[in-house]
Amino acid sequence: MKLLILGGGPGGYVAAIRAAQLGADVTIVEKKYFGGTCMNVGCIPTKVLLHTTDLYHELLKSGKKLGIKTQGTEVDWNRLMDRKAEVIRALVNSVEALLISNKVTILFGEGRFLSANQVEVISESGDRQLSDFDYAIVATGSEPAVPPISGIMSEGIMTSNEILSMETLPKSLSIIGGGVIGSEFASLFSRLGVEVSIIEMLPRIVQTMDEEIVNYLDFELRNQGVKILTKSKVESFEAFAGGVRVQVSSIEGNQVIESEKVLLSIGRRPVISNLGLEKIGVKVDKGISVNKDMQTNVSNVYAIGDCTGGIMLAHVASAQGIVAVEAIMNKKSKMDFRTIPYCIYTKPEIASVGMTEDQVRQAGINYTVGRFPLMSNGKAFILGETEGLVKFIIDAKTDEVLGMHMAGPKATELIVEGAMALRLEATVDEIITTIHAHPTVAEAIQESAHAVHGNAIHLPK
């Protein structure tokens, strides 16, 4: 069976490797670079920068207390950019090596459907190559959304792609959008001494995650000097000699914010144009329409990841790639969307899985909540990161875990325990009776489970 995959991002390359494992003859078409947005201009490079700035800020804030002399400590931006490039290059090369070791045929160029069984691939030099297939998976990803706001093409306005390649740090930065990406960049640049403003249209930043948990992030960003404007709409941009003026309207009136640079962080849109989808009759709505097996209305064509217009996360695309391949190879698997973790790599880290308190309330579910503050956790105290919380949302009738939410050190690593609990339909008692190592931040998860019924060990009555 011949399988062709358009796109070598976290969905496409994982699908290619899984298909090769199952015995398919796999060809992958990549326009630019393996690893997609995540590895090249998204998840990976931002985490490289955040890691350095977290270390830098920790030394400045707590070095003396920790017994470290920090006189003269500074961030070498040029060296940091070099390290970012080194990490990306190593990981991209690793993906290509994995594909080669699994005997996946690699075609570099832009793929376009000619029929439901053939694509043409046009290389950067203009060479044209035809490739036939029995099944195809579209995994073309997404790109930053650029809304039609007056002056949006002004010099000094960037998307997340461009901001990761700045040669020098700006003195000031306005971030349009206070979601995950905007909050991470606000945390990053404010720790480097950049004057940062977030302009968010919704009532609070990171509106999609549990409010009580996000409040820790909101507090810390403001404590770092970030100016956060919510319920605020950008009306226009205007370039001037010192940077960009942003005209903002809100219920409190109009104001102008001036900054050297502006980051557009207001979402992403599927990359689905110029693929020939209309030629073969693939249905498109907000993205490519698919069923639970990631199959389009054209039976031998599947689509995964951001190009479907659904949840735009790298780990979702990878999981969907495996679902699609196993459906094609008659090894049916399914995806449990309840177990998708949402993570923000700020300080404190924020992570969430399952239902938020607002969601269970709106659903009319009778629920209980367990909370354990990290100020009572020994490892968090050692790390000097006690501003945080572990929170469980529990079905009051069955004691089943409905959601877990966390702010604090290693939250993005520890959230998988909540995801596993949801996947196994675990009860709070099963969290409690699982022995957690000491001293670890993970102990706070067990304590939060104890707290559901008012029995947390390390909280005073």
Q: What six digits make up the tokens of 296?
A: 């389009």
CA separation (Å) from 6 to 28, 111, 121, 236, 412?
6, 7, 10, 37, 30
Rounded Cα distance between 79 and 83, Å, is: 6
Task: Judge whether 182 is annotated as a binding position.
Answer: yes
140 is in an annotated binding site: yes
Cβ-contact 197, 229 below 8 angstroms: yes
| C-alpha pair distances (Å), 79 with each of 49, 82, 93, 213, 261 | 11, 5, 21, 34, 22
Instruction: Please state the φ and ψ torsions of residue 62, each to the nearest 5 degrees.
Output: -130, 5
Q: Is 305 annotated as a binding residue?
A: no
Number of neighbours of residue 136 by Cβ within 10 angstroms: 29
**Which residue's structure tokens are 């956060």?**
228
Is 160 assigned a ligand-binding role in the annotation?
A: no
Residue 436 is a catalytic residue: no
The answer to whether 442 is a known ligand-binding residue is no
Residue 378 labelled as part of a binding site: no
200 annotated as belonging to a binding site for a ligand: yes
Q: How far is CA 380 from the centre of its chain?
A: 25
CA atoms within 13 A on the CB side of 163: 27
Q: Is 183 annotated as a binding residue?
A: yes
Q: Is 180 within any annotated ligand binding site?
A: yes
Backbone angles phi, psi at 311, to 5 degrees: -75, 115
- Residues 51, 438, 450, 453: which is the catalytic one? 438
Q: Is 225 annotated as a binding residue?
A: no
Residue 217 assigned to a binding site:
no
Contacts of 273 (CB under 8 A, 6+ apart): none
Question: Any idea of the CA torsion for 238, 144, 119, 311, to the nearest 10 degrees?
Answer: -150
- Residues with Cβ within 8 Å of 400's Cβ and at least 6 positions away in sequence, in order, are 394, 425, 426, 427, 428
179 has binding-site annotation: yes
**Maximum Cα–Cα distance for the chain, whole Å?**
73
139 labelled binding-site residue? no
Q: Is 57 annotated as a binding residue?
A: no
Cα-Cα-Cα-Cα dihedral sign, residues 247, 250, 254, 256: negative
The count of other CB atoms within 10 Å of the CB of residue 86 is: 11
**Residues within the annotated binding site for FAD?**
47, 111, 140-142, 306, 312-315
**Residues within the annotated binding site for NAD(+)?**
177-184, 200, 267
**Residues within the annotated binding site?**
47, 111, 140-142, 177-184, 200, 267, 306, 312-315
Give catalytic residues, as residue numbers: 438
